[in-house]
Amino acid sequence: MTNVLLATGTHNMKCTRIFLLTLVIAVSGCDGPSSTHSPEAEAASRQLVPQDLDIAAIYGRSCSSCHTVAATGAPLTGDVSAWSPRMEKGMDAMVDSVINGFGGMPPFGLCMDCDAQQFEALIQFMATPGASP
C-alpha cells in the first residue's frame, strides 16, 4: 500500500486503470454465462422432481432447499456444468461429501435418516441434465 502511495503520478494512473480493469473482469465474471448463478438455472432447477416418490419426498424436505437456491452456493439441480466437475470425483466421494458435510453443506445434507443408497439416488437425480436449454 505504501509503495502505491509513493509511486509516481503516471505509474499510479496505470495501476488504477489495471485495477479498474481487473474489477470489471471480476464483476462481469460473477454475472457472466456461468449457469450456476443464472436465474434461468435456478428457475429450471425448481421444475425438476425425482420420479421415485420416496426420493422425491426426501429431496423436497432437504436437498431442494439449497440445491434450487443459487445464493446458497450449492450446485443447482439439473445444472450439469456445475455438477460434472464434482461428479468426476466419483459417486463414492460424492456420497462421502454429503455424509460428512462439505463447504456450506451440513452433514447428511439435513437428511439424518437417509442411507448411502438414497444419497446416491438424490445425487444422480440432481446431477442429471434438467429441462434447461
Residue ranges that bind ligand HEC, judged by CB under 6 A: 62-63, 65-67, 72-75, 86, 89, 94, 97-98, 102-106, 109-111, 114, 119, 122-123
Q: CB of residue 123 vs ligand HEC: minimum separation in angstroms?
A: 5
∠31-33-34 over CA atoms, to 5°? 85
Q: Which residue is nearest to ligand HEC (CB)?
A: 103
* CA distance readout (Å), 21 to 11, 27, 55: 15, 10, 47
* CA distance readout (Å), 133 to 33, 41, 45, 112: 13, 9, 12, 34
Q: CB of residue 37 vs ligand HEC: minimum separation in angstroms?
A: 13
Residues 22 and 106: their CA atoms lie apart, in Å, by 34
Task: Give the torsion sign (CA, 109, 114, 119, 122).
Answer: negative
Output 33 or 104, the one with its CB closest to ligand HEC.
Answer: 104
Output 125 or 132, the one with its CB closest to ligand HEC.
Answer: 125
Q: CB of residue 65 vs ligand HEC: minimum separation in angstroms?
A: 5
Q: CB of residue 51 vs ligand HEC: minimum separation in angstroms?
A: 16
